[in-house]
Amino acid sequence: MSAHHAIDTILLDLGGVLIDVDYHASARAFRALGFEEFDALYSQAKQDHLFDGFEIGALSPAQFRDRIRQLFRQDLTDREIDACWNAMLGSVPMERIDLIDRLKKRYQVLLLSNTNAIHVSAFTEMIRKENGIADFKGLFHGAYYSCEMGLRKPDAAAFHHVLEQHDAEAERTLFIDDSMQHVIGARAAGLHAQHLELAHENVRDLVKRLGLFA
């Protein structure tokens, strides 16, 4: 990215960028209960409409769980479904919390995540317990979840909605995400965007490589 001195807002993804995520862990957990088709139903890049709908809040947690039961087994409990669904969520290394604090000294730092109500409850509680942070959203100048907005990446409307809330200009905003389709969407919406390739580096190394600190 050239001219990053012109950047005044940084927009971060959550899963993979700040929270460690294993997208295959949920499939493994469901398979352990006998749901062999879960892999075909869910993948990071291309999702069944069930998951899309849940991510934009069109389905409630109860409706999502009922649909899983319809697809799989009627005797599954809410607790079993939530445990499998949340299995993909890892932890937030404290160095990434420190990174947010450091970036905030120089930039407006915002969060935009495609996520759902069950995951929000789970990672909010995990971060409270593991990181001692009671207000995760409060770490940012603004934090937005697709299930609360009714909008999701890579749609331009999701990016524009967030930026408008903070008088941020797309051409002065850098977006960081580990999903290439979201990076492409952000660029189409006029933002600068960097693809975080998790196989090669973490967000802290990327930020350092881009020279985003003085």
Q: Residue range 150-177: average pLDDT? A: 98
- Non-local (6+) Cβ contacts of 17 within 8 A are 176, 177, 178, 196, 203
Helix (H, G, I), strand (E, B) or coil at 21: strand
Q: Which residue has the tokens 């604090």?
A: 101
Q: What pTM, to 2 d.p., does this model score?
A: 0.93
Q: Residue 194: which H helix or E strand, with range?
A: strand 192-195
Q: Residue 2: its pLDDT value, please? A: 45
Q: Spelled out in words, what is the top-level CATH class assigned to the domain 4-20+92-209? A: alpha beta
Greater pLDDT, 51 or 169: 169
Q: What pLDDT does 5 receive? A: 59
Domain ranges of the chain: 4-20+92-209, 23-88
Digit-coded pLDDT (tens) for 97-131? 999 999 999 999 999 999 999 999 999 999 999 99
Q: Give the integer Cα–Cα distance in Å for 159 and 112.
A: 8
Token readout for 210 is 């881009």
pLDDT for the residue 133: 97
Query: Which residue type does 63 have?
Result: Q
State how far the alpha carbon of 77 is from the alpha carbons of 68, 71, 72, 128, 144, in Å.
Answer: 10, 14, 12, 25, 29
The Cα–Cα gap between 152 and 173 comes to 18
Q: At 184, is the secondary structure helix, strand, or coil?
A: helix
pLDDT in tens, 35-93: 888 877 765 445 567 888 999 999 999 999 999 998 889 999 999 999 999 999 999 99
Residues 164, 170, 171: CA angle, nearest 5 degrees: 150
**At residue 197, does pLDDT exceed 60?**
yes
Residue 41: per-residue pLDDT: 75
Looking at the predicted structure, is the pLDDT value of residue 149 above 60?
Answer: yes
DSSP characters over 87-112: GGB----HHHHHHHHHHHTTSEEEEE
CATH topology of domain 23-88: DNA polymerase; domain 1 (1.10.150)
How far apart CA 182 and CA 47 sit, in angstroms, is: 14
